[in-house]
Structure 1
């Protein structure tokens, strides 16, 4: 006995979503930002060594403990946030992805500028 009233099953499609040039560009930009974040997180905190020449009573800004903590911690925090922004920017296809990929290096550059300004003063 054949069941003529069987439900039709939709065909299985074996198509992968196409990868466009903008997807590749977004991924390459995200990987570059991740490298920049890694370099920032590893090497920017070494600017605290600018305080090596501090002596007792030195009035330079880098000679205070609070400034040393900012110079050491700010780049690490900025690198972490920038890495998150880069991953979100690479994985999303929305308009906000480009904003994330633009904000991440801006955050890293800002952390370098602030740390260098504090270490140099």
Structure 2
């Protein structure tokens, strides 16, 4: 005996979003930015060594203790913030995520430019 009144089973639907080019680009940028941040955090503070040739009474900007502190700490701080921005940008599909992914390399480049300008390299 077949019951024609039995409820039918709804079809199974795959609701997963397909991976698009923008997703792949966001992931690639999100992985490259922490690498750039790591290189910045490791090597940019070495610009302080530009002060090795400083002598007493040297008027160059890198010869002051304050400038050496800025050149030593700015790239490390910028690398940390850029890495956090990259992770936030990778995890968000909104405009905020895209903004974070765009802000991270700008921050790193700005840290390099300021450190190079202050060190006179």
**Range into which the TM-score falls when normalised by the shorter chain:** 0.7 to 0.9
Displacement of 1:34: 1.0
Partner of 2:118: 118
1:33 corresponds in structure 2 to: 33
Aligned length: 112
SS at match of 1:69: helix
Which residue number corresponds to residue 81 of structure 1? 81
In structure 1, list runs of 5 or more residues that go unmatched. 1-9
Deviations 1:70-101 (A, max 9, x none): 00000000000000000000011111111111
TM-score with structure 1 setting the length: 0.85
C-alpha RMSD of the superposition: 1.9
Counterparts of 2:78 and 2:11 in 1: how far apart (Å)?
49
